[in-house]
Amino acid sequence: MLTHFNEYGDARMVDVTGKNISDRRAVATATISMKKETIGLIKNKEISKGDVLATATIGGIMGAKKTSGLIPMCHNIFISGVEIKYEILESSVKIFAEVKTSGQTGVEMEALTAVSIAALAIYDMCKAFDKEMIISDIMLIEKTGGKSGHFINSKYNGG
């Protein structure tokens, strides 16, 4: 492509025209740490702005659909399914997202975006009670489909 032009301002959305269409799937996670009291408010649905995890789930799913509009070099793709779940611990909430597609590119960015936006939505719903929440451990857990095959993150240790 355009190989004879000067190399200024260089960034590209990689050409995937030749890649195979295959069923692809990615699972990502994030953790948001907060005060024990805030966990209690979430569990008992006592946050006045609304149901925290229902709101985070919808933010995360809608965020997954917006990934290519957010991440500059990311392809816009058809997402065939998104699911978000939570594990509520003593002073943190773990977020998991699974995203599926049938297409020419993987959905790891969609899964990572889903958990990130869900975590930010939790922060937003609870920030009147706790401004010192920390979002961490955003990582890809697993990825299937495509040429590179089955990837399992060696740095992920549980859930």
Residues 102-121 that bind a copy of itself (CB under 8 A): 102-104, 108-109, 112-113, 116-117, 119-121
36 vs 49 by CB, closer to a copy of itself: 49
Q: Measuring CA to CA, how many Å separate 110 from each of 49, 66, 107?
A: 26, 8, 5
Q: 123-143 burial, b if ≥16 CB within 10 A, otherwise e?
A: bebbeebeeebebebeebbbb
By CB under 8 A, name the one of 107, 126, 143, 146 that touches a copy of itself: 143
**End-to-end CA separation in angstroms for the chain:** 44
Q: In the bound complex, what is the minimum distance in angstroms from residue 107's beta carbon to a copy of itself?
A: 11
Task: Assess 92 for contact with a copy of itself (CB under 8 A).
Answer: no
10 a catalytic residue: no
Pick out residues in 24-63 that bind a copy of itself (CB under 8 A).
Answer: 27, 30, 48-59, 61-63
- Tell me the catalytic residues: 124
